[in-house]
Chains A and B, each alone.
Chain A
Amino acid sequence: MTDLLVEPLLQKLTDQLAPLFSGVDQPILVGIETGGYLIAERLHQMLQPATELGKLNITFYRDDFTKIGLHPTVNPSSLPTDIDGKTIVLVDDVLYSGRTVRAAMNELFDYGRPERIVLAILIDRGGRELPIQADFVGQTIELADDEQVKLENGDALTLKFQKVHGES
């Protein structure tokens, strides 16, 4: 599969998300480190909401922590305000097993009790292992288990597709 430019997909997401940001009570955009945060940053520029951008690093919440070990330097999560009673737009680049989103929701609830969480995803590649679905999707692409899609931040944000060998 050829590489995919991110800009058109961002535009599509922005169009879908715009109605959420039309009211007085503005949702909070929260990106999941690292790819999701890059996407959330762009969405924040395009939507220009009244709320500040938030960042989640889910390292401490991963369910495969004992298998993959701990990377010593973890960028801290930072949420701009109290999230109690707020709407959170959780943003990630790729939705696959759903485990990252589960971990992110667990972490969010350690910060407070949001009224609502919606999920915005650039690429939904299928292969879910948990009952988690996105509310806003840039593009849906069915990929085989041995295929991988990765967000690269070069001159422009690009999605690269590649075959992987062994465990993905």
Chain B
Amino acid sequence: MANPNLQLHDDGRLRHFLSVEGLSKQILTDILDTAESFTSVTDRSIKKVPILRGKTVANLFFEASTRTRATFELAAQRLSADILSLDIKTSSAVKGESLLDTLHNLEAMQIDMFVIRHQDSGSAHFFASHVHPGVSVLNAGDGQHAHPTQAMLDMFTIRRHKQQFEGLSVAIVGDIKHSRVARSQIHALNILNTGQVRVIAPPTLLPEHCETLGVQVYHDFDEGIRDVDVVIMLRLQKERMTGALLPSEKEYFRQYGLTAERIKLAKPDAIIMHPGPANRGIEIESSVMDGKQSVILQQVTFGIAVRMAVMSMIASQPGLDG
């Protein structure tokens, strides 16, 4: 994969936002602090500040998305940017235009920032290594690789409820193997010095050499969830499954579904998160999803402030001015 420092300027500040991996604790903390500042804007009647006035952001979605796409659009609009959202499945890509040609055509329209979701791992890096100087790329999910803004809004939600990461025990449960969200979360939690990061999944839904990511692996949900502060449920990615990884959805729910009974094994004030979209009755019981400990809808709200933070940090680079 491309140069890991591709996303940083020479002075260490953010140029692109491609993955959490390789970023410092300081940058992640700056993102969270900046997002905290923006929540004051999103709470008032005119939810707009002029920071990105005159800039154009293009949302390129090669893969379906509701939350990420909508909150990126709102974030850009609240920063006063002009935003163009392209659903590539219905545009020239289907007519055979290459990724690079699509990019160069959009650059010819003087786009300042690209938000990209693509089914291939590494596609955001590919874009970033081909854009003109002064143009930035934000990864909104690439294949099974990374989804850094999702991870940061999850970190923001955790910090809002638990104040700090040291001493916390966080469990990520479910389809780790296919989840770019899980990968980004694990990196972010470790960079922020989280006490303990656990992953809970059947062996078939874990990536190889998972322990090397700095996590403790559990195959038994009841054992893994014991006394954790945060439970992050992942969506069972049925569309990415190849081969017989699972006996049945019913059996999966029995072993790895979050139920009202199971959550009692975690700390009494544990919070329940899910990046969405959730499969009710497959990885999470409906009543738990709507229950008191669930912060799932807050994650969506915080997504706007976090995306505003990342965009404004990237825009405050001298590069974008030139």
Q: Do A and B bind each other?
A: yes
Within 8 A of A (CB), among B280-322: 312-313, 315-318, 320-321
Contact with A along B18-38 (1 / 0, CB 8 A): 000000000001110110110
B55 to chain A, nearest CB (A): 9
Residue of B nearest to A70 (CB): B316
Which residues on A sit within 8 Å (CB–CB) of B278?
Answer: none
Is the CB–CB distance between A69 and B49 below 8 Å?
A: no
> How many A-B contacts if CB must be within 8 Å?
51
Across the interface, A65 reaches (CB within 8 A) one of B29, B34, B316, namely B316
The answer to the question of A72 belonging to the interface, with a C-beta cut-off of 8 Å to chain B, is yes
Is the CB–CB distance between B44 and A60 below 8 Å?
A: no
The answer to the question of B163 belonging to the interface, with a C-beta cut-off of 8 Å to chain A, is no
Residue of B nearest to A107 (CB): B49
Is the CB–CB distance between A61 and B46 below 8 Å?
A: no
Within 8 A of B (CB), among A61-84: 61, 65-70, 72-74, 76-77
Is the CB–CB distance between B33 and A67 below 8 Å?
A: no
Count residues of B near A (Cβ-Cβ below 8 Å).
25
Across the interface, B49 reaches (CB within 8 A) one of A61, A66, A68, A72, namely A61
Which residues on A sit within 8 Å (CB–CB) of B50?
Answer: 60-61, 106
Is the CB–CB distance between B46 and A73 below 8 Å?
A: no
A65 to chain B, nearest CB (A): 6
Which residues on A sit within 8 Å (CB–CB) of B44?
Answer: 110-111
Chain A interface size band reads: 10 to 19
* Separation of A72 and B37 alpha carbons in the complex (Å): 7
Is the CB–CB distance between B34 and A111 below 8 Å?
A: no
Which residues on A sit within 8 Å (CB–CB) of B36?
Answer: 73
Given contacts A70-B312, A72-B37, A76-B40, contact A110 B48 (CB under 8 A): yes
* Separation of A66 and B312 alpha carbons in the complex (Å): 9
Which residues on B sit within 8 Å (CB–CB) of A72?
Answer: 29-31, 33-34, 37
Is the CB–CB distance between B321 and A66 below 8 Å?
A: yes
Is the CB–CB distance between A70 and B45 below 8 Å?
A: no
Is the CB–CB distance between B315 and A66 below 8 Å?
A: yes
Contact with B along A18-42 (1 / 0, CB 8 A): 0000000000000000000000000
B interface, CB within 8 angstroms of A: 13, 29-31, 33-34, 36-37, 40-41, 44-46, 48-51, 312-313, 315-318, 320-321
Known contacts A69-B316, A73-B37; 4 additional CB pairs below 8 A are A59-B37, A60-B41, A66-B316, A70-B312
7 contacts between A and B (CB under 8 A): A66-B316, A66-B317, A66-B320, A66-B321, A67-B318, A76-B40, A110-B48
